[in-house]
């Protein structure tokens, strides 16, 4: 299959068979992630492979507590908070494996002013996005299902502390990985309205 066809075929798959994913297979995915382009030939990412029940639980609990606080601050009804946090918890703890993408300042340029610090961090974030796409494409190539989950970008410190990661690692992306549940049907993908998204000058 062409690369373009393969890219088109990758889908977010949110349901998995319960089978574990072997660690060498997960390592291959992380290696593919680390082939992503990054500023200044840096590798400002750290990937944490989470495939033990205790670690999944710790991460789900840590992020869940923060989400509870945020939702309460938004005046969301207590029953709805329980429902949302419980669903998120179940999503994380039932996935066979999670890969948590963290950003660090390792290899990045340091600036004295906030504007350039933010731009430099933004570059690192872009490269983490490229790395995650690599990881998901490699997963698809290995017959694995994956789905990117936004949660840690809203609570990087809670995610970091729940797994006792080094202080300078800031979790920003989480990918669920497993063998696909054959019954799962990917959401319909709307056609790409190129005329609205692409411009010429
Ligand atoms: C940064 C980012 C965050 C996402 N967060 C979530 C999420 O929290 N939960 C979820 O089910 N899907 C999440 N997704 C997956 C998107 O919903 C999905 O990529 C989009 O609907 C397009 O579908 P496709 O990946 O099958 O092409 C996220 C995707 C990205 C890029």
In tens, the pLDDT along 125-174 reads 999 999 999 999 999 999 999 999 999 999 999 999 999 999 999 999 99
Ligand 1 neighbour 11 (Cβ under 6 A): yes
Q: What is the mean pLDDT of the chain?
A: 97
In the chain, where do the E strands start and end?
45-50, 97-103, 145-149, 170-178
Compute φ and ψ for 51, nearest 5 degrees. Answer: -135, 15
CA of 147 to the centre of ligand 1 (A): 6
Ligand 1 neighbour 12 (Cβ under 6 A): yes
Q: Kindly report the pTM of this predicted structure.
A: 0.97
Ligand 1 neighbour 129 (Cβ under 6 A): no
Ligand 1 neighbour 147 (Cβ under 6 A): yes
Testing ligand 1's pocket by substitution, the residue of 15, 98, 149 carrying the most ligand atoms inside 8 A of its CB is 149
Ligand 1 neighbour 189 (Cβ under 6 A): yes
The token duo for 125 is 């974030």
What span, in angstroms and rounded, lies between the C-alpha atoms of 116 and 108? 11
Cβ-contact 159, 56 below 8 angstroms:
no
Indicate if the pLDDT at residue 66 is higher than 90: yes
For the segment 90-113, the average pLDDT, to the nearest whole number, is: 98
Ligand 1 neighbour 149 (Cβ under 6 A): yes
3-class DSSP assignment, residue 137: helix
Instruction: Tell me which DSSP letter residue 177 carries.
Output: E
Residue nearest to atom 30 of ligand 1 (CA): 148
Residue nearest to atom 22 of ligand 1 (CA): 12
CA of 146 to the centre of ligand 1 (A): 10
CA of 112 to the centre of ligand 1 (A): 35
What span, in angstroms and rounded, lies between the C-alpha atoms of 84 and 74? 14
- Give the pLDDT score at 1: 86
């Amino acid at each position: 299959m062409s690369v373009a066809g393969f890219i088109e075929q990758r889908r977010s798959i949110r349901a998995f068979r319960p089978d574990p994913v072997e660690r060498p297979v997960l390592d291959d995915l992380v290696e593919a992630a680390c082939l992503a382009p990054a500023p200044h030939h840096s590798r400002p990412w750290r990937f944490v492979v989470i495939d033990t029940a205790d670690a999944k639980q710790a991460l789900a609990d840590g992020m869940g507590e923060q989400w509870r606080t945020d939702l309460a601050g938004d005046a969301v009804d207590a029953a709805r908070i329980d429902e949302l946090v419980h669903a998120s918890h179940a999503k994380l703890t039932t996935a066979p494996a999670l890969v948590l993408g963290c950003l660090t300042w390792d290899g990045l340029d340091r600036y004295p002013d906030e504007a350039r610090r933010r731009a430099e961090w933004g570059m690192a974030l872009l490269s983490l996005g490229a790395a995650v796409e690599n990881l998901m494409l490699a997963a698809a190539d290995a017959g694995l299902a994956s789905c990117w989950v936004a949660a840690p970008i809203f609570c990087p410190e809670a995610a970091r502390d729940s797994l006792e990661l080094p202080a300078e690692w800031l979790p920003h992306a989480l990918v669920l990985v497993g063998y696909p549940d054959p019954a799962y049907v990917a959401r319909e993908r709307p056609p790409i309205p190129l005329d609205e998204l692409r411009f010429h000058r």
